Amino acid sequence: MTPTNPNELLQTTRDARGVVTLTLNDSARFNALGSDMLAALQQALDGVARDETARAVVLAANGRAFCAGHNLKDMAAHPDLAWYQALFAQCSKVMLAIHRLPVPVIARVHGMATAAGCQLVAQCDLAVAADAATFATSGIHYGLFCATPSVPLVRNVPAKRAMEMLLTGDFIDAQTALAQGLVNRVVPADLLDAEVEKLVQSIVEKPRVAVAMGKALVHQQRELGIDAAYQLAGQAMAVNMMDAAAQEGARAFAEKRQPDWKR
């Protein structure tokens, strides 16, 4: 992996497979999503989007918390509508960058993920949590409804469960997050990296073009009615089937062998 500066707000490594790990590194502020952190994330995600050899992103964090969301002290110090609009627009741009990235983004959640930190987990394509991790959309405790975190939350968690989180601000534990669909897997903390690696390895074994097309299709069709969704999905599969990787996969199936993909 490429080494990174330990003092950087966001640490970046990349392995030989094209797996990029982005590690939030502001433990003193519980990895809060201030303007500087959001700018660092945006720059890193834009870089991955341009890198045609990238295969997956792991989003991790240092310190006791995964991410505590926006820093309320900073927000209280700037009682200005334009400042708030700019901050939330910047955060939404980062979330949309994750959404539109052509490779899967996996959240590696080892600790607390609150408010926009919970939003970050929900926005990732996949999430693996340590059994001690906790989650909350806690802004309501301070008079601030977590409106932007609600966007990915209601697309991951059943409506009444999402509303309970948003209206109460109460924490849920990792097993509850698993049951409600916020995370994919829960493991003891000492197995967290190994479990993330299982997902990563399974993804990088597949053709990049199929993974990218599949991610885009899933996000597009879920916003459509069923007729339009089937039309879009059918066209996507037809185009996917014309790709060399899918043709090789079909031949390998017919010949009862493993596909030989040129990754």
Q: What is the pLDDT along the chain (263 residues), one digit of tens a residue?
A: 544 566 699 999 999 999 999 999 999 999 999 999 999 999 999 999 999 999 999 999 999 999 999 988 888 888 888 989 999 999 999 999 999 999 999 999 999 999 999 999 999 999 999 999 999 999 998 888 999 999 999 999 999 999 999 999 999 999 999 999 999 999 999 999 999 999 999 999 999 999 999 999 999 998 888 788 788 777 777 777 677 877 777 687 678 888 887 65
DSSP 237: H
How far is Cα 53 from Cα 64, in angstroms, rounded to an integer? Answer: 32
* Residue ranges in 51-140 assigned as alpha helix (H): 72-76, 81-100, 116-123
Instruction: Walk across the sheet containing 134-136 and list its strands.
Output: 65-67, 112-114, 134-136, 172-173
The domain over range 10-204 is classified in CATH as 3.90.226.10: yes
Extended beta strands in 44-154, E state: 56-61, 65-67, 105-109, 112-114, 126-130, 134-136
Q: Which residue spans of the chain are classified as CATH 1.10.12.10?
A: 208-254
- Are residues 60 and 26 in contact, defined by beta-carbon separation less than 8 angstroms? no
Class level of CATH domain 208-254: mainly alpha
Q: Residue for token digits 């079909």?
A: 250
The amino acid present at 146, given as its one-letter code, is C
Alpha carbon dihedral 144, 30, 54, 221, in 10-degree steps, equals -20
Q: Which residue spans of the chain are classified as CATH 3.90.226.10?
A: 10-204
pTM: 0.91
